[in-house]
Structure formats: structure tokens, C-alpha cells
């Protein structure tokens, strides 16, 4: 019996080995030996001779086919690149490759059933080719367990790296595929082809944007062939405030089984998806138990819903409903759609007016431009016209706050009870204003009388709205967060399983107490590095970080903190006098390169916002200040501005600045208006004052 098993295993290994070698030979012949002329090119066009690398050719092929009597569907995908390396930077980039190791599986009679295969060769300038031996690759942990990496030795400028990835898979039915392809890549592309060969029963729909070519349809036997060819495409530009999927040449396509219902407008898909809330069977006993504990305090329905929001954001209920571990709440885990179903179920049961919405993201565009809903998310609106929104909870989110990527977009909605939205099915999401997203920084500077090179700094920071998140993750620790939920209403429940989670929370909170010193040390170093980066200086003796408000509760919605530090070399000696680079205290500014001054793409920013600073400098005894007039600047227009004013009050110099952006979007034609106040802020950031010895 054992001999029979061993013989079967040995025979299977031989079959696998022979099948793999035969497959490798066929794939290399197809994609290397029989490749089109574009994959034999050796030189880049003259216009791109100064680029780091040039993609001479790239091709993506998708071949789908049904098995006998349509009981299975086979997909063959090949991605092929030929890249000319023109400088040391691109040589370094390709000197180590990460890929998915070759794999092949067969059925019992030795016929290839599925595979993934990678082949790489180096082409020298004289045409000599060297194929890479992938058996020398080592496994990595950067992706799946199959990921491998290998060094590419003897790679030089002028070499070409030519590689392809071939994948075959089988399933019981044809898949539904939606994809978005940006035609611009990191390097210029001489020739690009995307081709789909699918049975006529398969539907193919595509949309081309911003100068991208269309797919051309042809027929071959029982198949339809859709081909897109793009040539001489420049590299993706490195520009500020860009949503590539709203500004670059792009094709979006959808492949669907002929049986599937296909909507041209994804808004109709969204409306269908919202019908799932009509069949909501979520268990809300835990929520009702919590509400029972707090309902005797005369709270309104809206207030109760907000309390439920905070509950579902808590470590205990993140574990109870979303299976998210309690110990690291700052990791910003993804909360599933169950959150919306839970709230919807509660509000329907207790007759609270609300609407469920699906909203497309600004960085992909409105529903009419989409081919899938991967860029969309759900929102809840509690109440009618003057109601408030609830988004998917993150560690610091507050009821009423809207993720900025959904601001201004038109949502599809369904209301409960049904009668409240009988006359409308869409809503435009509000847009936050510059006053709502504000950072205020106050610096108090005092010189060391014995050493005027040193400046003692006391800082106070307040952040509001969308400006908060940066500061919250900078100054808060897991221990701080767990302590925020150490409140009676989040620890008193009737159900034994919740009591067990409360005990787990208490254990983890106490455990975090033991790690407080280390967490605080790491946090202080993090803040210290941030200050040095923003002020472009070195600091010492960082201390007394005091968090006045985390900004995670509605009654204290702003993030507020203060700290102290010393700048050891704040001034430069000029004879008997000292020079202070006072402009640095408005923190790091956006300095545009010559290339960035010209722009032909719209500006897509996160949100309108304001940054206010107040710098108070105590003038050392025996000195006066010169250069104050240079600190007064006023550049403002419809898109934003930078304003600064300096005033000497006895022995104290007070400087106030405000930099603001009025909108989250600006057309390319209006970019010069933004440049004007951006440059004004940069100019101020380089300002100096002279402390002149009397």
C-alpha cells in the first residue's frame, strides 16, 4: 500500500515538473520569441532621453473562455513590461525585484488546471540577453506568503529589463470585473495595449476620460475582442494637491456575466444596494441595554443616537460588534458596514427619522463617472433637513463630522420612515468652510539672558475640524485613549458577554498603565521630531506636554495642548547684535519649484482651512528690534490669502499671521491666484529681525 502511494506521489511530481517546463517554454515563446515589434525596441525617443527610465512597451491581455456546457470559466491574464533604464536611480529601483513565485497545479491526469508564472530577462545595449534564474529568490513578508524577492546583479544604465507575469485561474462561472487604469505611469510610455478577449455572452462596458483613447471592438469566432492602444504617453507629473483619477487620462471598464443586471449609472446600483436596509435583521440587544442605562437622564432622541455613536466607537463595543481587539484603539481599524445596519435597526425600531446615504468620493468623481462603488461609502443623516450626519467611526470622529472626501458630492439616499423622502432621492453633502478647519498656534519666546543664542519656547496649539487628526495621532497614546473610555456608562451592562469584555478592557487599561512611561517617551520624541521638522531647527529639553482636550467628544470638540522646549541655536551673531529667523515660527510652508509654478491641471485639496499663528517675543534687556516693517504682508484673493501684522508693545514684539484656503478645489486657470499667497507665506517664513545692542 505504501509503495503504491509513493509511486503515485512520485508520478505526480514528475507530471508537475514536465507540465511546468512545457508551460514555461510555451509562455516564453509566446511572449518573448513571438512578441510584437514594440517589444523589440532598444532605444527611447529623443524627447525622453533625460528621463530616469522609459517604458518602451507594456501590454495587458485578458482572455476569458467557458468550459464545456459552460460549467466553468477560465481566465488567462498576462502583464508584460519592457523598461529601458537610463540613470542610476532607475537601476537602483530595479536592482531588487519582488514578485509572486511561480506556481502550477494540475488535475489528476496531469493537465494544467491553474498557474501563475513570472519570467524576467535583462537585455544589454548590444542586444545580448540574460534570463534571470528565479530559483535564487528568497521569500519576503511584505505581501502574501508567496511573495519573493531577488537581487538583479550586473544591472547598468542603458540596460533593458523585460518581464511578464502570466496567470491562469478557473472558476465555476464568469467573474464580474471592474477596474480603473491610469494611462500615465511613473515613467513615460512609448506603447501601451490593453486587450480583452471574451465570449459574446460577456458584457464589456468602458468609459474613457481626459484624452484617453477608446476601446475598439472586433469579433473573432464566438469571441468579442476589445483593444485599446495608447502611444507616447508622458510620465505622471509630480504635482501638489492632485486627484489623478480626476485629472489624468484614464479608462474605466466593467466586465459582467450576461445574466447580471447592468446599470449604466452607478447611482442606480447604489439605490439597489440601499434596499438591503429594508431587510435589516441586526441584533441590537447590547445597544438597547446601554440606552436603558442612560435613558433616565431626560435625553432627546438625537442625544441618544449620539451616545450610541460614541458607544460603537468604544474599545469594548468595537470588540463586541466588529471583533476589533481592544488593546490598540489608535490603530484606526476599519469598521464594517454593520455599524450602519445597527444604527438603522435601532432608529427604525424607535421611530427616529433618518436617512441612509451612499456617497461617491471626490477623488474618483460622481456616480455617472464610476464603473463600481469601491470609492463610495455610507453616511447616516439623523433627523430631517436640519439633522446631523454620522460617518463610519474612527478613533476620534464625532457626530456631525463628515469625511472631507465626500464634501460637496451628491449622495443617493433612502429615508426611514419611507414617507420622509417620498419626494427626493438625492442630497448634496455640505462643504466645510475655512473657519471650521482651523489650527491656531501661539509661541511665547523668551531669551536666556546669559546666552542669547538660546530661546525658551512655550507653545499652545488648538486644532478644529479636519485639521485635528494630524495633531490627535501626534500627541495621543493608546493608554490615553483607553482612559478616555474609563467612564461608568461604558462599563455597566446586563449581559454576561459584555461584562466579560468590560473585564478585558479593565485588564488592558491597567496593563497600559505599566507601559505609560515608554508610550509617553515615544510620544514626546515623536512630537520633538515634528517640531524640528516644522521649525527647521534643533530643540532640546522638550517637556510639560499637557493635553487639555483630545477633541473626541461633542462637548469638547477641539484638540488643545501645550508644551515647552528650548532652541539652542535660535539666533546668529552679527557683531554686537543678534539675528532671529522669526519667520520660521509660522512653521514649514509650501515652497513651489520652477516646474510647479506652471500648471494645467485643476487643484484638488482635502478641504478649506485656516492656519493662524501668534508669535510673542520678549525683547531682551538692552536691545531694540529692527526689521519690523518687513513683517507686514497682505496678499488675499477669492481662493485664499496670507496676512501678517507685527506690533511692538513696550518690550514685547507681537506678530500675528493667518494663512487660509477658501475652497477645496481650484481650476488650473486660477492657479496663479493661489501661487500669489503661497509665495507670500514662503517670503514671510524667511523673515528675520535684528536684535540691536543699545
pLDDT in tens, 168-180: 888 888 888 899 9
Averaged pLDDT score across all residues of the chain? 90
For residue range 612-627, what is the model confidence (pLDDT) as tens digits?
Answer: 999 999 999 999 999 9
pLDDT at 228: 97
Q: Quick one: what percent of the chain has pLDDT higher than 90?
A: 76
13's grid cell? 511530481
DSSP assigned state of 556: B
Hey, is 47 helix, strand or coil? Answer: helix
pLDDT at 150 over 90: no
Are 531 and 539 contacting, i.e. CB atoms less than 8 angstroms apart?
yes
Beta pairing partners, 250: 182, 209
pLDDT at 141 over 60: no
pLDDT band of residue 450 (cuts 50, 70, 90) is confident
Segment 656-684 mean pLDDT: 97
CA distance 403 to 389: 10
Nearest CA among 430, 428, 434 for reference residue 402: 430
* Helices and strands in the chain: count of H runs, count of E runs: 13, 34
pLDDT band of residue 162 (cuts 50, 70, 90) is very high
Segment 33-60 mean pLDDT: 95
Are 692 and 625 contacting, i.e. CB atoms less than 8 angstroms apart?
yes
Beta pairing partners, 231: 191
Q: Strands of 69-159 (E only): list them.
A: 73-85, 96-100, 103-106, 112-123, 129-131, 138-139, 147-151
pLDDT at 680 over 60: yes
pTM above 0.75, yes or no: yes
Nearest CA among 53, 63, 67, 39 for reference residue 129: 39
* CA 642 from centroid of its chain's CA atoms: 28
CA distance 231 to 56: 10
Mutual angle of helices 338-349 and 301-313, in 10-degree steps: 150
pLDDT at 260: 59
Domain 438-471+527-693 belongs in CATH node 3.40.50.720:
no
CA distance 210 to 184: 12
* Two domains, one topology: 2-262 and 438-471+527-693: no
From residue 582, give the alpha-carbon distance in Å to each of 255, 578, 684: 59, 12, 9
CA distance 98 to 147: 7
pLDDT at 113: 59
Backbone angles phi, psi at 91, to 5 degrees: -60, -45
Mutual angle of helices 301-313 and 285-294, in 10-degree steps: 120
Are 203 and 243 contacting, i.e. CB atoms less than 8 angstroms apart?
no
Are 82 and 39 contacting, i.e. CB atoms less than 8 angstroms apart?
yes
Backbone angles phi, psi at 575, to 5 degrees: 70, -125
Residue 112 has a CB neighbour count (10 Å cut-off) of 17
pLDDT at 265: 82
Kindly state the helix (H) or strand (E) to which residue 308 belongs, with its residue range. helix 301-313
pLDDT at 100: 60
For residue range 551-594, what is the model confidence (pLDDT) as tens digits?
Answer: 999 999 999 999 999 999 899 999 999 999 999 999 999 999 99
Q: Where are the domains of the chain?
A: 2-262, 267-428, 438-471+527-693
CA-based end-to-end distance of the chain: 105
Nearest CA among 585, 564, 575 for reference residue 631: 585
Segment 656-669 mean pLDDT: 97
pLDDT at 151: 80
Segment 517-522 mean pLDDT: 95
CA distance 311 to 314: 5
Segment 506-515 mean pLDDT: 93
CA distance 158 to 250: 30
For residue range 626-649, what is the model confidence (pLDDT) as tens digits?
Answer: 999 999 999 999 999 999 999 998
Domain 2-262 belongs in CATH node 3.90.1820.10:
no
Contacts of 559 (CB under 8 A, 6+ apart): 461, 462, 463, 464, 468, 471, 472, 475, 549, 550, 551
pLDDT at 69: 66
CA distance 527 to 534: 10
**CA R_g for the chain:** 31
pLDDT at 140 over 60: no
CA distance 186 to 202: 33
Q: Which residue has the higher pLDDT, 602 or 107?
A: 602
pLDDT at 549: 97
CA distance 345 to 347: 6
pLDDT band of residue 118 (cuts 50, 70, 90) is confident
Backbone angles phi, psi at 466, to 5 degrees: -70, -15
For residue range 524-554, what is the model confidence (pLDDT) as tens digits?
Answer: 999 999 999 999 999 999 999 999 999 999 9
Segment 515-526 mean pLDDT: 95
pLDDT at 4 over 50: no
pLDDT at 423: 52
Kindly state the helix (H) or strand (E) to which residue 617 belongs, with its residue range. strand 609-618
Q: Which residue has the higher pLDDT, 423 or 249?
A: 249
Nearest CA among 103, 95, 104, 101 for reference residue 140: 101
For residue range 361-404, what is the model confidence (pLDDT) as tens digits?
Answer: 999 999 999 999 999 999 999 997 789 999 999 999 999 999 99
* CA 457 from centroid of its chain's CA atoms: 34
Half-sphere exposure of 322 (CA within 13 A, CB side): 26
Are 417 and 383 contacting, i.e. CB atoms less than 8 angstroms apart?
no
CA distance 455 to 452: 7
CA distance 574 to 579: 7
Q: Which residue has the higher pLDDT, 550 or 298?
A: 550
Handedness of CA 595, 597, 599, 602 (dihedral sign): positive
Segment 171-199 mean pLDDT: 93
* CA 667 from centroid of its chain's CA atoms: 23
pLDDT band of residue 71 (cuts 50, 70, 90) is confident
Are 120 and 100 contacting, i.e. CB atoms less than 8 angstroms apart?
no
Amino acid at each position: 500500500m505504501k509503495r503504491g502511494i509513493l509511486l503515485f506521489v512520485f508520478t505526480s511530481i514528475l507530471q508537475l515538473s514536465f507540465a511546468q517546463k512545457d508551460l514555461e517554454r510555451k509562455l516564453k515563446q509566446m511572449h518573448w520569441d513571438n512578441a510584437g515589434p514594440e517589444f523589440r525596441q532598444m532605444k527611447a525617443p529623443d524627447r525622453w532621453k533625460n528621463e530616469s527610465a522609459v517604458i518602451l512597451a507594456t501590454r495587458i491581455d485578458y482572455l476569458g473562455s467557458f468550459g464545456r456546457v459552460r460549467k466553468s470559466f477560465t481566465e488567462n491574464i498576462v502583464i508584460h513590461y519592457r523598461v529601458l533604464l537610463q540613470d542610476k536611480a532607475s537601476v537602483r529601483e530595479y536592482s531588487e525585484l519582488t514578485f509572486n513565485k511561480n506556481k502550477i497545479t494540475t488535475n489528476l491526469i496531469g493537465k494544467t488546471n491553474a498557474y501563475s508564472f513570472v519570467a524576467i530577462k535583462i537585455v544589454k545595449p548590444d542586444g545580448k540577453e540574460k534570463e534571470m534564474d528565479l530559483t535564487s529568490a528568497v521569500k519576503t513578508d511584505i505581501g502574501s506568503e508567496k511573495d519573493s524577492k531577488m537581487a538583479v546583479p550586473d544591472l547598468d544604465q542603458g540596460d533593458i529589463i523585460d518581464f511578464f507575469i502570466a496567470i491562469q485561474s478557473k472558476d465555476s462561472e464568469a467573474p464580474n470585473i471592474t477596474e480603473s487604469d491610469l494611462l500615465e505611469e511613473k515613467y513615460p510610455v512609448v506603447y501601451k495595449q490593453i486587450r480583452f478577449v471574451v465570449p459574446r455572452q460577456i458584457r464589456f462596458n468602458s468609459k474613457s476620460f481626459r484624452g484617453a483613447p477608446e476601446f475598439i471592438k472586433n469579433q473573432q469566432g464566438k469571441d468579442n475582442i476589445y483593444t485599446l492602444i495608447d502611444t507616447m504617453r508622458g510620465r505622471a507629473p509630480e504635482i501638489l494637491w492632485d486627484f489623478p483619477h480626476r485629472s489624468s487620462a484614464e479608462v474605466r471598464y466593467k466586465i459582467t456575466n450576461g445574466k447580471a443586471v447592468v446599470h449604466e449609472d452607478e447611482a442606480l446600483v447604489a439605490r439597489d444596494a440601499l434596499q438591503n436596509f429594508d431587510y435589516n435583521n441586526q441584533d441590537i440587544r447590547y445597544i438597547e441595554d446601554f440606552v436603558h442605562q442612560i435613558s433616565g437622564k431626560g435625553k432627546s432622541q438625537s442625544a441618544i443616537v449620539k451616545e450610541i455613536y460614541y458607544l460603537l466607537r468604544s474599545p469594548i463595543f468595537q470588540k463586541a460588534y466588529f471583533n476589533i481587539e481592544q488593546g490598540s484603539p489608535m490603530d484606526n481599524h476599519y469598521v464594517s458596514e454593520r455599524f450602519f445596519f445597527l444604527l438603522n435597526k435601532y432608529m427604525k425600531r424607535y421611530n427616529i427619522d433618518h436617512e441612509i446615504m451612499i456617497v461617491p468620493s471626490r477623488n474618483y468623481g460622481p456616480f455617472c463617472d464610476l464603473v463600481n462603488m469601491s470609492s463610495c461609502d455610507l453616511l447616516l443623516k439623523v433627523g430631517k433637513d436640519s439633522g446631523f450626519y454620522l460617518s463610519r467611526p474612527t478613533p476620534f470622529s464625532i457626530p456631525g463630522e463628515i469625511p472631507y472626501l465626500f464634501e460637496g458630492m451628491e449622495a443617493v439616499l433612502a429615508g426611514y420612515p419611507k414617507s420622509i423622502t417620498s419626494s427626493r432621492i438625492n442630497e448634496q453633502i455640505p462643504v466645510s468652510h475655512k473657519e471650521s478647519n482651523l489650527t491656531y498656534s501661539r509661541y511665547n519666546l523668551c531669551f536666556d539672558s546669559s546666552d542669547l543664542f538660546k530661546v525658551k519656547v512655550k507653545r499652545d496649539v488648538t486644532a478644529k475640524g479636519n485639521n485635528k487628526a494630524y495633531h490627535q495621532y501626534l500627541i495621543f497614546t493608546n493608554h490615553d485613549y483607553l482612559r478616555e473610555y474609563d467612564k461608568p456608562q461604558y462599563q455597566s451592562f446586563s449581559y454576561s458577554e459584555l461584562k466579560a469584555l468590560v473585564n478585558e478592557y479593565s485588564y488592558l487599561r491597567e496593563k497600559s498603565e505599566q507601559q505609560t512611561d515608554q508610550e509617553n517617551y515615544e510620544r514626546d520624541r515623536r512630537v520633538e521630531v515634528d517640531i524640528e521638522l516644522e521649525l527647521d531647527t534643533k530643540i532640546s529639553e522638550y517637556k510639560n506636554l499637557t493635553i487639555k482636550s483630545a477633541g473626541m467628544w461633542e462637548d469638547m470638540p477641539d484638540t488643545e495642548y501645550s508644551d515647552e522646549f528650548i532652541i539652542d541655536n535660535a539666533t546668529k551673531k552679527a557683531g554686537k547684535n543678534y539675528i532671529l529667523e522669526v519667520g520660521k515660527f509660522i512653521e514649514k510652508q509650501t515652497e513651489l519649484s520652477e516646474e510647479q509654478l506652471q500648471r494645467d491641471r485643476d487643484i484638488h485639496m482635502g478641504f478649506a482651512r485656516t492656519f493662524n499663528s501668534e508669535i510673542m517675543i520678549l525683547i531682551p534687556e538692552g536691545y531694540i528690534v529692527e526689521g519690523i516693517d518687513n513683517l507686514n504682508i497682505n496678499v488675499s484673493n477669492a481662493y485664499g490669502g496670507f496676512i501678517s501684522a507685527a506690533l511692538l508693545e513696550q518690550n514685547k514684539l507681537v506678530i500675528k499671521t493667518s494663512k487660509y484656503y477658501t475652497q477645496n478645489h481650484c481650476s488650473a486657470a486660477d492657479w496663479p491666484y493661489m501661487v500669489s499667497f503661497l509665495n507670500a507665506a514662503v517670503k514671510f517664513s524667511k523673515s528675520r529681525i535684528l536684535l540691536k545692542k543699545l
